[in-house]
Amino acid sequence: MSRSPRNINKTPFFHIMVQGLNKSYIFNYEIDIIYYINKIKELEQILDVNVIAYCIMNNHAHLLIHTNNTQILSKFMQRLNTKYAKYYNRKYDRVGYLFRDRYKSEGIYTEKQFYSCMNYIYNNPVKAGICLKREDYKFSNYLENRQYMPDNIQTEDIFIDVDNETNDEIIKNYINVNNINIENLLKNKHELSIIVKYLRHFNVSYRSMEKILNISRETLRKYGQF
């Protein structure tokens, strides 16, 4: 019997991040994210990997994976992203690369790093301004794992990160995830007031809101007071 390749990282836990080329959206709609998550679960059953935590955003995804074989890890990510890229290119009638680089990976070596990584992954949508609480985000498995996570976890500054979200990206992410029809916003004062207050909670400027929502700053300030 042949031996499995040695894991030179000397850890079975890996934090993985994939991102769209040029930071472009690679998950345009809920059905795209669901497809990616289903492929994760499908490949888990075929290959010797366990995806402990995941969070799928519009232009990137984070995974915490357990495996004793780094070659299997590479095979898992290659198959996952290839299957998704073929699906995406076929659906949106495009050709060429979808993902920026292959994927980024870093080993997790201590229990503190392990839980800090989980915390970091699940806080991504909160940091991006998509939701106020991580349990409100639909496209992670936080609810499956929260009972196992210690309280008061401090996220260490050691993890792979995408560039800090700009105001424009926060607004676009919120609109996309919540399926907001911008053209009808002025007709729904209650919803507009909720959105403005929500974005202000994340210090999004009225100037940025005006540019994306195509509503004057004066009007936005007014609804922010309701």
Q: Report the Cα–Cα distance between both ends of the chain, in Å, rounded.
A: 71
- pLDDT at residue 166, as a whole number: 66
142 and 192 within one domain: no
Q: Is residue 3 in a domain? A: no
User: How many domains are there within the chain?
Assistant: 2
- pLDDT at residue 5, as a whole number: 40
Pick from 118, 148, 178: which residue ends a domain? 148
- pLDDT at residue 157, as a whole number: 47
27 and 123 within one domain: yes
Spatial CB neighbours of 193, under 8 Å, sequence gap ≥ 6 = 223, 224, 226
32 and 143 within one domain: yes
Pick from 98, 115, 148: which residue ends a domain? 148
Q: What is the CATH number of the domain that holds 137?
A: 3.30.70.1290
119 and 41 within one domain: yes
Give the pLDDT of the chain (226 residues) as one tens digit per residue: 334 443 445 789 999 999 998 788 999 999 999 999 999 999 999 998 999 999 999 999 999 999 999 899 999 999 999 999 999 999 999 888 898 877 888 888 888 889 889 999 999 999 888 888 999 999 999 999 988 887 766 555 445 555 455 677 777 767 766 677 888 788 888 888 888 887 776 677 888 888 888 888 888 888 877 5
CA angle 48, 52, 56 (to 5 degrees): 110
Q: Is residue 162 in a domain? A: no
Q: Is residue 211 in a domain? A: yes
200 and 99 within one domain: no
20 and 126 within one domain: yes
Taken in order 116, 52, 21, 88, the sign of the CA dihedral is negative
176 and 133 within one domain: no
Specify whether the CB–CB gap between 114 and 108 falls below 8 A.
Answer: yes
Q: What is the pTM of this model?
A: 0.69
- pLDDT at residue 127, as a whole number: 87
21 and 129 within one domain: yes
183 and 88 within one domain: no
217 and 142 within one domain: no
199 and 137 within one domain: no
Q: Is residue 217 in a domain? A: yes
Pick from 84, 114, 148: which residue ends a domain? 148
What gap in Å lies between CA 27 and CA 171, rounded to an integer?
A: 16
Q: Is residue 173 in a domain? A: yes
Q: Is residue 134 in a domain? A: yes
Q: Is residue 201 in a domain? A: yes
Q: Is residue 27 in a domain? A: yes
- pLDDT at residue 226, as a whole number: 57
Which backbone phi and psi does 32 adopt, to 5 degrees? -70, -45
182 and 97 within one domain: no
Residue 195 belongs to domain spanning = 167-224
